[in-house]
A and B are shown apart, each in its own frame.
Chain A
Amino acid sequence: MTFKQMFTSSVGKKLVMAFTGIFLVLFLVVHASLNACIWAMDGGVIFNKAAHFMGSFVVPRILEIGLFLGIFLHIIQGYMLTLENRGKRKVGYEVNYSKGSKWYSRSMAILGTILLMFFIIHWKHFWVPSRITGVAEMDLGNGFIVHNLFGVMQDTFQNVWVVLFYVISCISLGYHLAHGFQSAFKTIGVHNKRYHTMISSIGYGFAIIIPLAFALMPISFYLHWVK
């Protein structure tokens, strides 16, 4: 058995989804924690410092490469699996069986597609200006100049449609996580009932708290809760 065989069987493909999914879950924790600095009510000083650290220090930059690989692997594998699985039943049912499973468990590809659209717009809003096209800078004193990403957030989230799109995306993320979090652990083989109950509870909590924190960010800027 080679590693290629291991990860290309039907179970192996799911392992790829699970491992990249758990990696992306960890990324969400880091992303949400750092972004929570916007609520420091200091005009974005701490937030911009944190963003500067993430953008200039070597470790997060290396992790960023891993992050991009993880995201693309998760997206491509997800679409391939969805198409493959759909092709396994050429003639469909007259009456579909919908009672045995949650709608969001059956809709991971649709929820994921909303998230992909979100990523493209989100990268365009923040990652592209920060890395490529450039953003206004903020002088924190003693010649310590950082990108004013706080200002970019303030500007971006004045548009109600952008805020609405971010909130809808956060709701999609919540449902994607509600299934994905516990499903990933089942796929990597956690079958002990004790752990399974614990993971399910953490998963649902995570699926509420993280998207809620993210959704509150554009809302906070739009309603001028943070200045």
Chain B
Amino acid sequence: MSQNTMNLKVKVWRQKNANAQGAFVTYDVAGISDEMSFLEMMDILNERLITEGGDPVAFDHDCREGICGMCSMYINGKPHGPWQANTTCQLHMRAFKDGETIVIEPWRANSFPIVKDLTVDRSAFDRIIQAGGYISVNTGNAVDGNSLPIEKQNADEAFAAAMCIGCGACVAACKNSSAMLFLSAKVSHLALLPQGAPERKSRVLKMVAQMDKEGFGSCTNTGACEATCPKEISIANIARLNNEYLGASLTAQ
């Protein structure tokens, strides 16, 4: 298979730390293979910057297999770049054309403060999970997996919701910086399973309260989150979360 190489301009947001004033800097990157991944292109840029004695562009990445949720770039006006159901690390350079200028921004939300350049602090998500994303389990031997009957439909929907990797693309895409797609995935996957039943009511109330405390916006059902989600989490989960919230808040003591 023949490789095509391309020369690109990369317009990246550079910011030294959370309090510093940031700005866009445009770099030329030459000889990029269309078979490279997007992060490999960034690695090439960074190696060059290091060689030249400059400061490499900070960006989050870990597994580079599309499953960890660490990569987080907002590329040409869409979280994780132009492809559907895709993370930045699984984006390849064939998505771009020779001579193109690629604009790379960090996730923008007050609740995701910038650490440096394209790296943002997403620990707000961890605190939301800590507030209620757990289940009660008896000590002793683990029960047999088949001892709890679960309806197929519920199992499928719970698994689909559990696909959420917590990358924060939903917040980045939302005009309100709302974390509702993330939260709804976490609430749904436990609410649909019998294991999640004991804390079902308190979970949704605590997690919504924590989400508000973290300063995320409220959902206006525009659907931008669903359209950009690398794991295609359905917006129907948000309606389920609303349902859980309404039921729990009406019946809570």
Q: Which residues of A contact B (CB under 8 A)?
A: 1, 5-6, 9-15, 81, 84-102, 105-106, 108, 179, 182-183, 185-191, 193, 196
Question: How many Å lie between the Cα of A89 and that of B247 in the bound state?
Answer: 31
Q: Which of B224-253 contact A (CB under 8 A)?
A: 224-228, 235-247, 249-250, 252-253
Q: Which residue of A lies closest to B109 (CB)?
A: A89
Chain A residues near B175: list those with CB within 8 A. 85, 101, 106
Chain B residues near A98: list those with CB within 8 A. 77
Asked if B176 lies at the interface with its beta carbon under 8 angstroms from chain A, I say: yes
Question: How many Å lie between the Cα of A8 and that of B173 in the bound state?
Answer: 24
Q: Which residue of A lies closest to B244 (CB)?
A: A189
- Decide: B220 and A85 in contact? CB cutoff 8 A: yes
- Decide: B209 and A9 in contact? CB cutoff 8 A: yes
Find A188's partner among B208, B220, B246 (CB 8 Å cutoff).
B246
Find B176's partner among A11, A88, A182 (CB 8 Å cutoff).
A88
- Decide: B105 and A85 in contact? CB cutoff 8 A: no
Find A187's partner among B103, B227, B242 (CB 8 Å cutoff).
B242
Query: What are the 4 closest A-B residue pairs judged by CB atoms, nearest first?
Result: A189-B243, A100-B227, A95-B77, A191-B239
Question: How many Å lie between the Cα of A6 and that of B253 in the bound state?
Answer: 12
Binary contact readout B100-120 vs A (1 if CB under 8 angstroms, 0 otherwise)? 000101001111000000000
Asked if B74 lies at the interface with its beta carbon under 8 angstroms from chain A, I say: yes
Chain B residues near A90: list those with CB within 8 A. 110
Chain A residues near B227: list those with CB within 8 A. 99-101
Least CB distance from A108 to B in Å reads 7
Most-contacted residue by chain B among A9, A88, A94, A95 (CB, 10 A): A88
Least CB distance from A127 to B in Å reads 30
Q: Which residue of A lies closest to B239 (CB)?
A: A191
Q: Which residues of B contact A (CB under 8 A)?
A: 11, 22, 24, 74, 76-79, 103, 105, 108-111, 172-173, 175-178, 205, 208-209, 211-212, 215-228, 235-247, 249-250, 252-253
Chain A residues near B79: list those with CB within 8 A. 97
- Decide: B217 and A84 in contact? CB cutoff 8 A: yes
Question: How many Å lie between the Cα of A90 and that of B238 in the bound state?
Answer: 25
Chain B residues near A88: list those with CB within 8 A. 109-111, 176-178, 215-217
Chain A residues near B11: list those with CB within 8 A. 94
Find B218's partner among A13, A96, A106 (CB 8 Å cutoff).
A13
Most-contacted residue by chain B among A14, A87, A183, A186 (CB, 10 A): A186
- Decide: B236 and A191 in contact? CB cutoff 8 A: yes
- In the complex, the number of residue pairs spanning A and B with C-beta atoms less than 8 Å apart equals 150
25 contacts between A and B (CB under 8 A): A10-B211, A11-B241, A12-B249, A13-B218, A14-B242, A81-B218, A84-B217, A85-B177, A88-B111, A88-B178, A89-B109, A93-B108, A94-B103, A95-B105, A99-B78, A100-B223, A101-B222, A105-B220, A105-B222, A182-B221, A185-B239, A186-B221, A189-B239, A189-B240, A196-B239
Find B250's partner among A6, A92, A96, A191 (CB 8 Å cutoff).
A6
A15-B246, A189-B246 known; A1-B239 Cβ under 8 A: no
Q: Which residue of B lies closest to A12 (CB)?
A: B249
- Decide: B242 and A102 in contact? CB cutoff 8 A: no
Question: How many Å lie between the Cα of A179 and that of B110 in the bound state?
Answer: 27
Find A14's partner among B111, B216, B218, B236 (CB 8 Å cutoff).
B218
A95-B77, A100-B223 known; A85-B238 Cβ under 8 A: no
Question: How many Å lie between the Cα of A187 and that of B226 in the bound state?
Answer: 16
Least CB distance from A48 to B in Å reads 41
Least CB distance from A40 to B in Å reads 39
- Decide: A6 and B220 in contact? CB cutoff 8 A: no
Least CB distance from A10 to B in Å reads 4
- Decide: A191 and B105 in contact? CB cutoff 8 A: no
Question: How many Å lie between the Cα of A20 and that of B242 in the bound state?
Answer: 16
Chain B residues near A91: list those with CB within 8 A. 22, 108
Question: How many Å lie between the Cα of A11 and that of B221 in the bound state?
Answer: 12
Question: How many Å lie between the Cα of A136 and that of B176 in the bound state?
Answer: 49
Least CB distance from B147 to A in Å reads 28
- Decide: B208 and A10 in contact? CB cutoff 8 A: yes
A11-B245, A89-B110, A191-B236 known; A100-B224 Cβ under 8 A: yes
